[in-house]
Amino acid sequence: MTLKKYHHIFFDLDHTLWDFDKNATETLIDLYRQFELMSFNLFSEFALVEKFMEVNNHLWDLYNVGKIDKVEIREKRFTIIFMDLGLTPEQVPPDFGEVYLQSCPKKTNIMPYTLEILDYLQEKYELCIITNGFDDVQDTKLTSANIKKYFKQIVTPESAGSKKPQKEIFEYALGLARAEVNKSIMVGDNLQTDIQGARRVNMDQIFYNPNDLFHKEKVTYEINCLSEMVKIL
């Protein structure tokens, strides 16, 4: 395979650089104690984490296809989770969602080799973020994890007026970065939003598949570890 000369690398943030699962898990375990949820005698902190992952992933899938908005994710998430775990609506702690949103983005776990690969890439390429996450929390995540300095642009649905996999957000990001699509590549963990989205504007893609999940999607490159990017770029 001939290597192409890229100028711009567009990264997804959650689950690609910022370790969403680890950070959310740590936050929920902290909050389980803080809110004394053991006093209900209904579920463990691990059951809370498991239910959160199930409900949150489902709500994000609906958000990505435009079926619900940011406010609905934020308002519904913990009500659904706690009621699934056996609480009555009156027992759901009203400020749990808000406290979660204040705490989780401050967590600093990043995916393996994030700093090493960003250090390596920043010498040779312009790096940008295209995320479907929200301005307020994404900025905190990048700052807390100390990786904001690597990125020239951070494109969110709020700034772009569209979200992945819509082609408009990729076109917006390319324009903002003054990047050429055939000299750009998208790196992300989500086959629908990151990979199919990039393909819609004919941008090459690197599918980051840390759990080596089976799929039938056509991708330009696939990696299981971010460190493998040195073989491509």
Site residues, Mg ion (CB under 5 A) = 12, 14-16, 189-190
Cα distances (Å, whole numbers) of residue 43 to 59, 77, 85, 86, 153: 22, 17, 7, 8, 42
Smallest gap from residue 190 Cβ to Mg ion (A):
5
Q: Which residues contact 80 (CB under 8 A, 6 or more apart)?
A: 55, 59
Name the residue nearer to Mg ion (CB basis): 16 or 87. 16
Smallest gap from residue 17 Cβ to Mg ion (A):
9
State how far the Cα of 196 lies from the Cα of 202, in Å rounded to an integer.
Answer: 10
Smallest gap from residue 25 Cβ to Mg ion (A):
16
Name the residue nearer to Mg ion (CB basis): 99 or 223. 223
Name the residue nearer to Mg ion (CB basis): 18 or 78. 18
The torsion region of residue 107 among left (phi > 0), alpha (psi -120 to 50) and beta comes to beta
Name the residue nearer to Mg ion (CB basis): 16 or 184. 16
State how far the Cα of 79 lies from the Cα of 164, in Å rounded to an integer.
Answer: 27
C-alpha distance across the termini of the chain, in Å = 13
Smallest gap from residue 14 Cβ to Mg ion (A):
4
Name the residue nearer to Mg ion (CB basis): 138 or 190. 190
Q: Cis before residue 165, ω within 30 degrees of 0?
A: yes
Smallest gap from residue 229 Cβ to Mg ion (A):
16
Amino acid sitting at position 126: E
Name the residue nearer to Mg ion (CB basis): 85 or 128. 128
Smallest gap from residue 171 Cβ to Mg ion (A):
20
